[in-house]
Amino acid sequence: MFVNAIADKSKEFRRFAESQHCAPATALPKPFLGTLRHKLGLLLYPGGDLLDNVFANKFRKYGPTHALHNRNGVPLVIHTIDPVNINAILNKSASHWGPSKARARTMYPLAQEGLLNSEGASWHKNRKMILRHIFTKRAKDVRNSETDIQLLFDAIGPVDDDGWTQEVDLLDLFHRLSLDMSTTFLLGTSAESQLSGMRDARMKAAMMEFGLVPGKRSSKYTYGEAYEVVRNYFSWRSKLGSKYWIADGLKYRKACNTLNDFADDLIKRAMQRSPSIQDSLNSPDSKYGLIDSLVIEIGDPIHIRNLIMDLFIAGQNMTGTMAAWVFAQLEAHQDILQQVRSEVVEKFGTEENPRADLTWDNLKSCNMMQNVILETLRMYPLLANIGRNAKCDTVLPRGGGDDGSRPIAVPKGAAVTCNIYLVHRREEEWGEDAWDFKPERWIGRKFGPEYAPFGMGPRVCVGQHLSMTEISFLIARMMQHFSEMKSPEGQDNLTKGYRVVVAPKNGVKVRLRRATPNSSDATMGARR
């Protein structure tokens, strides 16, 4: 009976495909020795670059849209880098597609009922509410981040007689900054994680004397450590796909509990203070965070935890990793670094003689800086793959038949992955220099479906404006504080590592030269 039911379903699907004039996509061969071996191969991929080698080669060999079929020729998983198909999946026919089941499995037991992995009316309502809060708080909170920027400068450390800092890893420092900025924004108070990273005990002691003490820890792991454990497990679980359960265990579950305890503790404290802060919450100088607004609007602590945890998981480290790529590229392109610094100093003045406020409206008018950010997000879209599962039998506009021009029928339940990293490097859309860093390509260019670092359509990233503001603010402040940047001989800042996000594999190791009051119009220059 079971076999008959499968045969009926296949027939029904074939009829649907014919009625839509579809043809099958190029079929991927079944993985040698099965999918588990294939997944373990990805997990243990020996060096090199998984994105540029394994994935890119597959698209070169099997075309821009290809599929793994079952024995009846019905697609189970479709991979695409065709912007027309990606626009259909994420945007035009978004209602036919639900969030990727693989993502929910990867993150289980975290992030099950917030924004990332839910859909329907409650997702819609939650999303609207979060966006409203993000937009009302964005402008003032980026200025509140000045304290976090000062901690960053302290963590970068003192300079020698020539004004140069010691060698620092900007990836590490920006990750901590990102955590500090996101806690400032979400919770109204910075985690001050920069302090725990400072090796100089005297500096730390001095900071603590001023009351800048890192937050209370809820169990064996600190929040930062628990997040690192969870991130590693997420990376393994995402590569293992349906065999995600292989990467599980006490260590992972304990880290998940620490993150939940951390959120619960913060919510409890926000609930205790909520009756007394209602009036001041919306004042322009309010130091309270998004969590306080959610406590007043929602009330239910579990609901609040689901939303806050999603924002932490989805947003944590994104801004920091992005900023690290920006500085890696600026170090590699000293001429562009000079242009960005000139633009910032001209617009905002120096630290000693500021000229304009670092608001989003002012920051977005720095064209060179914005083009550098857009180009960096093109080359390193952080979330290399965006996945979906079909909610009904549906159609992709292109990729079927011998020449790939026919539509493809997709059955309910099939998975699709949109490889955004490779879409951003398609020569058809970006030209022969698609693999090169060229901010000037953005002059006068409009956004199309070939550019989706924040996704697109109804599930587009809720943190994109916040991230763009934070990154712009950070670049501007770094340009005001330092005048030059160089990497040690032999350091490679541009090699990619691919875990949950695409990040610089070897860190971004540089020395920076402190700007002097006279370096207002001097530019950062290469001095190896």
Residues found near ligand HEM in the complex (CB under 6 A): 115-116, 127, 310-311, 314-315, 318-319, 322, 382-383, 386, 453-455, 459, 461-463, 466-467
Cα–Cα distance for residue pair 316/183, rounded to 1 Å: 10
Measured from the CB atom, is 24 or 504 closer to ligand HEM? 504
- Cβ proximity to ligand HEM: between 406 and 424 the closer is 424
CB of 134 to ligand HEM, least distance (A): 7
Q: Which CB sits closer to ligand HEM, 315 or 411?
A: 315
CA–CA distance, 156 with 123 (Å, rounded to integer):
41
Instruction: For residue 253, give both structure tokens.
Output: 């579950």
Residues 514, 505: Cα–Cα separation, whole Å = 27
Name the amino acid, one letter, at 425.
R
Quote the least distance from Cβ 238 to ligand HEM, whole Å.
13
What are the C-alpha distances in Å from 43 to residues 79, 235, 416? 19, 9, 20
Residues whose CB falls within 8 Å of the CB of residue 418, separated by 6 or more in sequence, listed in order: 80, 81, 85, 86, 89, 90, 385, 386, 387, 388, 452
> Nearest distance from residue 501's CB to ligand HEM, in Å?
8
Residue placing its CB nearer to ligand HEM in the complex, 12 or 297: 297
311 contacts 186 by C-beta, under 8 angstroms = yes
Report which residue's Cβ sits closest to ligand HEM.
463
Amino acid at 373: I
The CA distance from 114 to 306, in Å, is 5
* Nearest CB to ligand HEM, comparing residues 239 and 459: 459
Q: Name the region of 491 (left: φ>0; alpha: ψ -120 to 50; beta: rest).
A: beta
The nearer residue to ligand HEM, 449 or 453, going by C-beta atoms, is: 453
- Spatial separation of the C-alpha atoms in residues 139 and 348, rounded to whole Å: 17
The CB-of-313 to ligand HEM minimum distance in angstroms stands at 8
Q: How far apart are CA 351 and CA 367, in angstroms?
A: 21
- Output 319 or 370, the one with its CB closest to ligand HEM: 319
CB of 497 to ligand HEM, least distance (A): 16
Which pair of tokens denotes residue 108?
Answer: 């289980």
| Closer CB to ligand HEM, 133 or 514, in the complex | 133
**Packing angle, helices 301-315 and 318-332, rounded to 10:** 10
Q: Residues 342, 523: contact at Cβ < 8 Å?
A: yes
Nearest distance, CB of residue 470 and ligand HEM, angstroms: 8
What the block records as the tokens of 521 is 């119009």
Q: Which is nearer to ligand HEM, 83 or 400 (CB)?
A: 83
SS3 of 27-75: the string is ECCCCCCHHHHHHHHHHCCCCCCCHHHHHHHHHHHHCCEEEEECCCCCE
Closer Cβ to ligand HEM, 386 or 476, answer by number: 386
Q: Extract long-range pairs of 141-144: CB within 8 Å, 24+ residues apart.
A: 141/184, 141/185, 142/358, 142/359, 142/360, 142/469, 142/470, 142/473, 143/357, 143/358, 143/359, 144/184, 144/185, 144/287
Parallel, antiparallel or unpaired: strands 509-514 and 168-169: antiparallel
Q: Is 392 annotated as a binding residue?
A: no
Least spacing, CB of residue 512 vs ligand HEM, in Å? 22
Report the nearest approach of ligand HEM to the CB of residue 271 (Å). 21
Instruction: Give least dist CB 116 to ligand HEM, A.
Output: 5
Tokens 């009330």 identify what position?
299
Distance of closest approach, residue 384 Cβ to ligand HEM, in angstroms? 10
Query: Would you list which residues are annotated within the binding site?
Result: 461
Query: Would you list which residues are annotated within the binding site for heme?
Result: 461
